[in-house]
Chain A
Amino acid sequence: MSQASPVTTMAATLGDAAVVSPSRPPRPGAGAFMKVVREPIGLIGLVIIVTLIVVAILAPVIAPYPPDDQPGRRLESPNSTYWLGTDDLGRDIFSRLLYGARVSLQVGIIAVGIALVIGGILGLLSGYYVGIVDALVQRLVDILLAFPTLILVIALTTVMGASTATAMIAIGIAYSPAIARVVRGATLQVRQEQYVEAGKTIGVGPSRMILRHIVPNIAPPVIVQSTLLLSTAILAEAALSFLGLGTQPPAASWGAMLGAGRKYMETAPWVAIFPGLAISITVLGFNLLGDAMRDALDPRLRQR
């Protein structure tokens, strides 16, 4: 058996995403997109995510109040002026939720982007060169996987100072082993293919080989993994901000709003209920989309 134990594969947070088979999937494209949209699950996921992106971009236009304004009395229950009530400082919760969408999406996308870059490079090197490079990278991945993720993120944010930016970097670093595993597995499979052998024979250099021939062919499982990781990253940011280690007040972050609202749970439950709902719906959107994409991009599952 090779050194990579089947257990350490990234089944952790992703449920049956671990069954994703990177075996010669078709290239993602318009066909795959149609398949995602045709499934109710994919369509609902896509609608949620698109709505969220629009809301995030248009927040200053849609929001009735600027996020830091204190137009109301403190802890007003939902009413016709403040649809979702006000928080302990008299700020409009609805407006803050809209602005909070920016934080969540930004953190999710940038953190996964960082994980893709670090994990992608590690995974490609490991899968393409095998041998000593592979052994070294695998040990590094093992170390990061054995290190408790949330604790790593907490320690990194403490080192770099709590802020949205450090939350993104810390989450990105912590999730890079998950990407590295998937990329390595897919690369190992692709490098056996004849077109890679053929390319080597006619003298295609390693960088061209990796960028032009391997990366496009390992894309489907990596895209699926990234979509599912987006939801995990958003949850992680929320947890960090809930603990007071992520986005700092007065910036509107769902996790921070939830953490602050917790104190008023019995008298003003809406302060904590709505941010939690926003997190759940967003994460659900990415999970739905991720599931639908896996079904569309993984030919092995589609046959069933």
Chain B
Amino acid sequence: MSRYIVRRFVLLIPTLFGVTFLVFALMRFLPGDVVNSLLGTEATFSEEQRATLRRLLGLDQPIYVQYLDWLRSLARLDLGVSFRSSEPVLQMVIDRASVTIELALLSVIVSTVIAVPLGVITATHRGNKADVLAHFVGLVGLSIPSFWLAILLLLVTTLYIPWSPKLIWINPLDDPVQNLKQMVLPVIALSLSLVAVVMRMTRSSMLETLGQDYVRTARAKGLRERLVVLRHALRNALIPVVTVIGLQIGNLLGGAVVIEQIFGLPGIGSMILTAINQRDYPVVQGGVLFVAIAFLLINLCVDLLYVYIDPRIRY
């Protein structure tokens, strides 16, 4: 087990190097000059001033030197400072990521609580009307774009309920109740497709385990159906479900950007999007690196979780 964990960590290193290289290269290919983006293209600033700024930002160095410098500071956990606000990127990433993590976790919790029971019920009542309906509704849930749902939710709340969420971020540490209220609509918008994904996975995985010999044995011993389904089938059906949930958390970290934009949530996706538009290299690099590390670590955790769900798995 510990050898396996070590090996997985070692394998993370080349992947992360690849990510650093990819994001660095992508940023340098972006058309438009960061200095012009900062100072504007008008003649207010002389060529000399522009050159000075370029030197201060380290952009006069050859690209490979810039890359190596960035890697060197990464090794000291220093993500640099924003070209625009001079804020340390690490602090920006922590601030912004906490918003997205809250959003992602709330969405995943809400959708899991709804989806897993639905998946179990449809699997145990396979083929009847409720199952067929759930199948169809699940597909509809997968097909509705979250950003469209978000807009509809905003419309409905403003038209029919004398309440609409504030589109300015409220820190949960300042006002947890207002913060949660603010999260309701974004979480609903993100949860619909998550419910569909998790329900479908639970259903098909349950169908698979319900057909196994040990389930037949459990029934043959005269165990109550409830116990057979929950203790014997569900537990063993959970592995693919946990996998999907883990992947969804990872995807939401970078993928909730449109929802963040609509609801004015200062999440990590929005931060990266703005930074791409402003050619703020260090912020994009730091943000993407954070999302990639989080994604890889979540995957690793899910793999390790298997051991607890299914004691037959040994690494």
Contact = CB atoms under 8 A, between A and B. Distances in A.
A12 B295 CA distance: 12
Nearest to A11: B244
Contacts of B29: 159
Given A12-B251, A148-B288, A287-B143, A7 B295 contact: no
Given A143-B19, A265-B151, A273-B152, A150 B244 contact: no
Count chain B CB atoms within 10 A of each CB in A13, A151, A231, A238 and give the residue with the most. Answer: A151
A156 B284 CA distance: 13
Given A11-B247, A151-B288, A279 B19 contact: no
B187 interface: no
Nearest to B247: A12
A59 interface: no
Nearest to A140: B18
B276 A266 contact: no
Given A150-B257, A151-B288, A11 B243 contact: yes
Interface string A229-256: 0010001001100110000000000000
A155 interface: yes
Contacts of A283: 142-145
Nearest to A290: B139
Interface stretch (A15-23, A77-85, A194-202): A15-23
A15 B31 contact: no
Interface string B10-23: 01001110110011
B167 interface: no
B258 A242 contact: yes
Contacts of B143: 231, 280-281, 283-284, 287
A291 B255 CA distance: 24
Interface in A136-194: 139-140, 142-143, 145-151, 154-156, 158-159, 161
B214 interface: no
B234 interface: no
B251 A149 contact: yes
B111 interface: no
B205 interface: yes
B96 interface: no
7 contacts: A18-B243, A148-B291, A155-B23, A155-B30, A238-B145, A266-B159, A276-B145
Given A242-B258, A281-B143, A283-B144, 16 more contacts: A5-B299, A7-B303, A18-B201, A19-B204, A148-B251, A148-B288, A149-B251, A150-B257, A154-B273, A231-B142, A238-B147, A262-B151, A265-B151, A276-B144, A279-B148, A304-B126
Interface of B: 4, 8, 11, 14-16, 18-19, 22-23, 26-27, 29-31, 126, 135-136, 138-140, 142-145, 147-148, 151-152, 154-155, 158-159, 196-197, 200-201, 203-205, 207-208, 211, 240, 243-244, 246-248, 251, 253-255, 257-258, 261-262, 269, 272-273, 276-277, 284, 288, 291-292, 295-296, 299-300, 302-303, 306, 315
